[in-house]
Amino acid sequence: MRQMVSFTLKGAGYEVLQACDGVEALDLAREQVVDLVLTDVHMPRMDGITLVRELRALANYKFVPMLILTTESSQEKKMDGKRAGATGWIVKPFNPPQLLATLARVI
């Protein structure tokens, strides 16, 4: 999944940093401020919702768009994400054009 997202984004000219879970992503984001955060909900160690909440609390990430990847079944997760400070969500499954179109809405 991550590879497919990363590949699509790189193909569209974005620079992509990858992390394999929330904890790693948080560390990465602290080191280098990014223009957009894209995170799955289900991740080991730290889930996507917590990641968004933690990032939103950082001064550098106050206005950074953050999107969560979620399945259609998790309406509740969308709202959780929203409450945690996510800009929006992308419903899985999606194909590369959908992903790029969604990204174009925030960046």
Toward other proteins, which CB reaches closer, 7 or 30? 7
Q: Which of 27, 57, 58, 71 binds other proteins (CB under 8 A)?
A: 71
Instruction: List, in sequence order, the alpha helices (H) in the chain.
Output: 2-11, 22-31, 48-56, 75-84, 96-104
Q: 98: how many CB neighbours lie within 10 A of its CB?
A: 13
Site mask for other proteins (CB under 8 A), range 5-34, x = bound: -xx---xxxxxxxxxx---x---x---x--
Does position 91 interact with other proteins (CB under 8 A)? The reply is yes
Toward other proteins, which CB reaches closer, 26 or 66? 66
Site mask for other proteins (CB under 8 A), range 49-68, x = bound: -------------xxxxx--
Q: Which residues bind other proteins (CB under 8 A)?
A: 1-4, 6-7, 11-20, 24, 28, 32, 35-36, 42-44, 62-66, 69, 71-73, 75, 78-79, 82, 85-89, 91-96, 105-107
